[in-house]
Chains A and B, each alone.
Chain A
Amino acid sequence: MSDDHELVPVSQAQPGMVLSDELLDNGGMVLLAKGAVLSEAIIASLQRHHIEAVPVARSKAHRAPDEAAVLARLDRLFRKHDLEDDSDWAGKLLRRYVEDYRLERQVAP
């Protein structure tokens, strides 16, 4: 299992967690597809199926974003947008919002 995934006991599974692999029952039937998002109903159903643990994508919040890497990548993505060009304000806003999103900054409501 890679660093992006972890095995979580069903008792500790939370709604919103994303399955990182497909989940099979003892007979090899697919219970849940890879990428499925857990809900309370799904977690209850897993408990009824006596599933003990589920592979889920490791929450990104556990790792602080690498600011230098994020900014370098955004510079590359927005390389055709001139930050000095006021007529491209929509492109600049998009870049700023994505930057705030990637760096998990708090924004005013």
Chain B
Amino acid sequence: MTITPEELIQGLDDLPSLPAVVMELLSNIDQEDIDISVLAKKVATDQALTAKTLRLANSSAFGLQVKATTIGQAMTYLGFQSTRNLIMAAAMTGCFPSGRCPSFDDKAFWRLSIATAACARVLARHMRFNQDVAFTAGLLHGIGRLVLVTRYPEQYDAVLRENKRLDGNLRATEQTLLGIDHILAGAALAEHWQFSGTMQQAIAFHHAPEMPGAGFLATIVHVSNAVAHALDLAGDADELVPAVSSVAWTALGLSEEVWLHVFRETELQFEEMTAILLA
């Protein structure tokens, strides 16, 4: 079968929807004059989301001196942007149904996404890049795989089985069997959900960070993804380290000593965040 981009985009409305408050956070992404107290109250009506967000905010990765006990406090201590990204992370990890596609290991998928997010956040700090944006981009870079697995569970099961048999490149196998790949699907969803332009670019170009216009965020996500695979954090026996762009690697310009610190910090943050997000 061949899925056209048009079919895919039409189907996006059938995807599981995010909690209303998260959609609101997404659509208000560039709005400065947003009323934080109203937003905090809306998030607070979703208890599970609130609990997860607060546990993340209080994890050692964010280094709060005082424990935040309400969303409003988290916004005061961490700032609106950081808190919004945490709410999105907490909502996103719980919003796709699992189990409809036997070959898709959604736990391994999220473990890899969280590892990428943790590494992206650590790298962003070293590069003086926005850490929250890097964290969110790392977490969501593979979201196209969720689109395909949710929309076409049977066909995607065949893709995963064939790719395992070939020990091949997932994207190439997707293109052969579906006529579309998870990069395209992810970019379509990012647009549909009105992610910011930088975020859309990072999702669309994390496989090709050397492309003109890909942006520095794509470089951070590309290398973080390779590191997450190389540190073997997904817990997948068939784990495979993807190609590493030398252009992206050079752009970061870190010494081996710094890299080893990055690995350690990534692993520590990963352990803590998976315990919260995948509880």
- Interface segment out of the listed B102-110, B128-136, B239-247: B239-247
CB-based contact A94/B226 at 8 Å: yes
Interface of chain B, main secondary structure: helix
User: Chain B contacts of A98 at CB under 8 A?
Assistant: 230-231, 263
A25 CB within 8 Å of chain B: no
A18 and B229 CA atoms in complex are apart in Å by 23
B12 CB within 8 Å of chain A: no
CB-based contact B60/A36 at 8 Å: yes
CB-based contact B249/A95 at 8 Å: no
Q: How far is the CB of A18 from chain B (nearest CB, A)?
A: 6
What are the interface flags for B49-64 relative to A under an 8 Å C-beta threshold, 1 for contact and 0 otherwise?
Answer: 0000001000110000
Given contacts A33-B276, A90-B249, list 9 more A-B pairs with CB under 8 A: A36-B60, A77-B232, A78-B230, A88-B244, A89-B246, A90-B250, A91-B226, A95-B230, A100-B260
A101 and B246 CA atoms in complex are apart in Å by 21
A77 and B238 CA atoms in complex are apart in Å by 8
CB-based contact B271/A35 at 8 Å: yes
A-B contact list, 10 entries, CB within 8 Å? A35-B276, A36-B272, A37-B268, A77-B232, A80-B241, A89-B246, A90-B245, A90-B248, A91-B226, A100-B260
Q: Which of B185-224 contact A (CB under 8 A)?
A: none
Q: Most A CB atoms within 10 A — which of B241, B250, B268? A: B241
**A interface, CB within 8 angstroms of B:** 18, 33-37, 39, 73, 76-81, 87-91, 93-95, 97-98, 100-101, 107-109
**B interface, CB within 8 angstroms of A:** 55, 59-60, 167, 226-227, 229-232, 239-246, 248-250, 255-257, 259-260, 263-264, 268, 271-272, 274-276
Q: Which 4 A-B pairs have the closest CB atoms?
A: A35-B275, A90-B249, A90-B246, A90-B244
